[in-house]
Amino acid sequence: MAFVKGVWRILVTIKDGLVLLFLLLFFGLLYAALSWSPAPAGSVSSGALLLKLDGTIVEQPQEADPMALLTGSGSRMKEYRLSNIIAALDAARDDDKVKAVVLNLNGFIGGGQVALARVGKALDAVRAAKKPIYAFATIYTDDSYQLAAHATESWVDPLGGVAVMGRGGSGLYYKGLIDKLGVNTHVYRVGTYKSFVEPFIRSEQSPEAKQANQALADALWQNWQDEVAKARPKAKVAAYAGDPAAAATGAGGNLAKAALNAGLIDRLGDEAAFGARVAQVVGEAPDERPGDFAAIDLGTYMKAHKRVNGGQIGVITIAGNIVDGEAGPGSAAGDTISALIDKALAEKELKALVVRVDSPGGSVMASEKIRSAIMQAKAKGMPVVASMGNVAASGGYWVSTPADIVFAEPDTITGSIGVFGILPSFEGTLAKMGVTTDGVRTTPLSGQPDLAGGTTPEFDRIMQMGVEDIYRRFVALVAQARHRSPQQIDAIAQGRVWDGGTARQIGLIDRFGGLEDAIAEAAKRAKIDPAKARPYWIEKEPDKFTQLLQTISQREEDDDAGAPTDLLGQQAMMQRNWAMQALADVQALVSGAGVRADCLECRGFGAPRVTQVNRQGWLGIALNLLR
């Protein structure tokens, strides 16, 4: 009888859960139906294309969690797909209804130098078509100014300014905390410069890591200055960034005037004055509110000019951390990516494959699974071309090795050819609480790895040998792909990270060029006229219900208070986002794949990504790290 009652309770619990779920879905759909409108209010068919970028530009946006959208617990930081923005700007260039392009960068977080340089190139093409570009922000930082430099007229609020920070910054090192907790960190690695594990075994950067990171930061910073100088020759960026205090002092402490004096911006004015200026060129807004102008909504315009899908050149995107198992877009899951490639090769008559990589790496097993799937295309005689975005390092380089030719940009971060594994054990922590362990063994590996009692020398030795063997395989793959000897590759590997310009000099990449260049090259190798080549985007079909909820959620957020626009508030927000990503990286390291081809320092150049950590809170993260 007790058994029957127990089963009945389980059934009732399941029933109640299903009823609650259906109620949530019902009210969600009802709210969606009542809230849905074909286009946001204020959008017009003719005027200025408004790029109000409240978030980050990414290669591939992450898939939203439907339950997080329903409960309002998800991250509010938006992600804009790079190719969609480029397609919109390319269409605007020849669209008579688009009189100008407006960049509202108050809420812009960033996007990486490669992505922003590509947007800048598209903006230059709009200007070449005799259409003005207007940019506005209260505070410009490096990434937002990289876009604003391409504007015909750049404005800044009189209470704002331009904060050019340059590349570089500090990272978190946990050895002091680990020692206090009594945690024993077992590290298995190959690569003098493989600094991912250093935060767990050191309290500061090693000299080798600092040297490599400084060289990378210097190269990227110089490239940033060169692009800004080319787009805006009159801007005295070097002097302004080199001594910002002197620039501010010369303007009586007014940062906006200091930027104006240095030629970084053209005019001072608040958002209302900026809008009135744009309205003079493109016309007033239908609601006739002061400072408004006839604005074409970016989301609506991108839908009307979305990228065409159905060509013969397959394009697979490997974006985000490379992880085991399955995951949605924005995270490069080994099972998901390999299944997508297998399905496309089986069902579509593809003539070539382009591998677009924007990843700092991750799991070795997942990287190899993706590489093996790409090799199937080569086995069918198809040309394979790699196209590197902001980052293609460690596992991101691993999956690029099947390519016949590798395209990258001078600002691409690549290399980091090295392998590591990390495993914490808590015998010291338990000993502080008076807890010890003991047992029996039949072999040297019995009960290993023992997280409570510690690892044995035999286990550590085997793990180190395993990591060294994977490193040799990694080097061999690169040597075969680059037509070099393993010794030559080992000399430039060792986990060191390179900028794209240096990577080309040492033979890790072949040519400079973007995704369009890679598609054209793939077509040429497949004996297809590059002018007639069209891509087939190999991606998971988006969930319609999730898209609907995300659209509604974003429209609600448009009515909310925006991101802070003053210098202190904006930088504090950025640092919070970076801190959350750093903690997410640590959590993934502790709970994710054991052996990794990953690049921690690569994440610091670009913009922080939306992570699941945003929904857990600081306490939850800390507890997860100690599990």
Based on the fold, state whether residues 277 and 367 are members of the same structural domain. no
Write out the two tokens for 387.
């196209």
pLDDT bucket at 598, cuts 50 / 70 / 90: confident
E strands present in 303-417:
313-319, 322-323, 332-333, 352-359, 361-363, 384-393, 405-408, 413-415
In sign, the C-alpha dihedral spanning 65, 70, 76, 80 is: positive
Mean pLDDT, the chain, integer? 85
Active-site residue, from 52, 194, 351, 369: 194
| Average pLDDT for 556-563 | 49
pTM here is 0.84
pLDDT tens-place string over residues 26-50: 555 555 554 444 444 445 578 999 9
Q: Examine the fold and report which residue of 262, 278, 304 is the final residue of a domain before the chain moves on.
A: 304
Q: Give the pLDDT confidence score for residue 40 in this predicted structure.
A: 44
456 in any annotated domain:
no
- Percent of the chain exceeding pLDDT 90 equals 59
Q: For the chain, what is the domain count?
A: 2
576 within some domain: no
CB-count burial class (<10 Å; 0-12, 13-18, 19+) for 516: middle
Tell whether 289 and 352 lie within a shared domain: no
**Does 298 share its domain with 355?**
no
Same-domain pairing of 294 and 316: no
Same domain, 156 and 53: yes
CA distances to 383, 422, 523, 534 from 516, rounded to whole Å, are 16, 39, 11, 10
Average pLDDT over residues 249-269: 95
199 closest CA partner among 225, 226, 171: 171
Considering the domain boundaries, does residue 82 fall inside one? yes
Q: Is 199 inside any structural domain?
A: no
Domain termination residue (choose one: 471, 506, 541): 541
State the CATH number of the domain containing residue 363: 3.90.226.10
Catalytic one among 359, 367, 387, 394? 394
Residue 352 in this model has a pLDDT that exceeds 70? yes
Which amino acid is residue 328, in one-letter code? G
Give yes or no: residues 287 and 322 share one domain.
no
Tell me, yes or no, whether 555 lies in a domain: no
In terms of domains, do 251 and 141 share one?
yes
Domain extent, residue 84, equals 43-168+226-304
Query: In this structure, what DSSP letter does residue 196 have?
Result: G
On whether both 67 and 140 belong to a single domain, the answer is: yes
**Domain end among 265, 281, 304:** 304
Asked if pLDDT for residue 559 goes beyond 60, the answer is no
Same domain, 406 and 277: no
Q: Is residue 475 part of a domain?
A: no
133 belongs to a structural domain: yes
* Catalytic status, residue 331: no
Answer yes or no: is 564 within a domain. no
Query: Tokens 């994440």 identify what position?
Result: 603
The yes-or-no answer on residue 194 being catalytic is yes
Same domain for 141 and 275?
yes
Q: In the predicted model, is pLDDT for residue 72 greater than 70?
A: no
- The pLDDT > 70 percentage for the chain reads 78
Q: Which pLDDT score, from 0 to 100, does residue 619 have?
A: 40
